[in-house]
Amino acid sequence: MTLHYFIAMQFELEREIKLKVNLTPEEIKQKYGDNLKPEIEGKLYDVLSALFNNLVGIKKIIIPGEFKSSRGAKAINCSVKAADGYIFPLKSSIVFIYKPVIYIRHSELKHVEFSRTGQGVSRTFDLTLTKLKDEPSITFLSIDRDEHSILVQYFKASGVKMKTVDTEGNKAELKDSPNKNQEMQGEYDDEEESEDESFNESHVSDDDDDESAE
């Protein structure tokens, strides 16, 4: 048996669906109370999220937030070792999809490091995430240089400490790095959820409608 920790899904933004749950109204009422209706209608990602939430019992459903790359996308192309994928900078965490899937909350980060950002032939740079716990750092390779300033502002707004690494391997704190008080604002309880990262079956805002299928 294979154990899966994450399921990544992509949907057509405007696709809608209407379906009937293959249970009697009495069975639905008994098992799920008022959380599930015998007939569900709406956007495909909305309906499927409600089914996962109730029938499967998956309570943690993450959708992209307000972040936009230099190209207006919700994710940035990069690689981890030899695996190509995308990082999704969310409101209070970072997800790398797809192999291996990596999920890191901002509160778990000690600092991030930007390397190979100087002017030169290369059009890419690397981003290394160092965690508070004694765990191996994770490096995202070959990120387009156009994303550098955007990621700096993203981590600054998130209260994550930043460093830069020069060609000699010397490290220095980035001038846009938050001070200690700002850094502490990035800390939160593990049980806390941010609004633009968790699916709420009773309501999906207009912003979520624009972002869920990305």
Q: Are residues 124 and 38 in the same domain?
A: no
Q: Are residues 202 and 178 in the same domain?
A: no
Q: Are residues 122 and 176 in the same domain?
A: yes
Q: Each residue of 56-81: pLDDT tens digit? A: 888 788 877 789 999 999 999 999 99
Compute φ and ψ for 115, nearest 5 degrees: -130, 155
Q: Are residues 204 and 172 in the same domain?
A: no
Averaged confidence pLDDT in the chain: 80
Q: Are residues 118 and 175 in the same domain?
A: yes
Q: Are residues 48 and 88 in the same domain?
A: no
Q: Count of domains in the chain?
A: 2
Q: Is 40 part of a structural domain of the chain?
A: yes
Q: Are residues 102 and 57 in the same domain?
A: no
Positive or negative, the Cα torsion across 35, 62, 60, 152?
negative
Instruction: Name residues whose C-beta falls within 8 Å of residue 145's C-beta, 6 or more positions apart in sequence.
Output: 117, 122, 123, 124, 125
Q: Are residues 27 and 94 in the same domain?
A: no
Q: Are residues 90 and 54 in the same domain?
A: no
Share of the chain above pLDDT 90, in %: 43
Q: Are 160 and 106 in contact (CB under 8 A)?
A: yes
Domain that holds residue 46: 16-63+198-211
Nearest one of 20, 19, 16 to 42, comparing CA atoms: 16
- The whole-model pTM stands at 0.71
Q: Is 96 part of a structural domain of the chain?
A: yes
Q: Are 68 and 74 in contact (CB under 8 A)?
A: yes
Between CA 137 and CA 115 the distance in angstroms is 14
Owner of token pair 């599930």 = 36
Q: Are residues 107 and 32 in the same domain?
A: no
Per-residue pLDDT, 141 = 96
Q: Is 189 part of a structural domain of the chain?
A: no
Residue 129 sits in a domain of what CATH number? 2.30.29.30
Q: Are residues 179 and 82 in the same domain?
A: yes
Q: Are residues 96 and 169 in the same domain?
A: yes
Q: Each residue of 156-204: pLDDT tens digit? A: 999 999 998 876 666 777 766 655 444 333 333 334 444 455 555 443 3
DSSP characters for 78-122? EEETTEEEEEEE-SSEEEEESSS-EEEEGGGEEEEEEES-SSSS-
Q: Is 117 part of a structural domain of the chain?
A: yes
Residue 154 CB coordination number (10 Å): 20
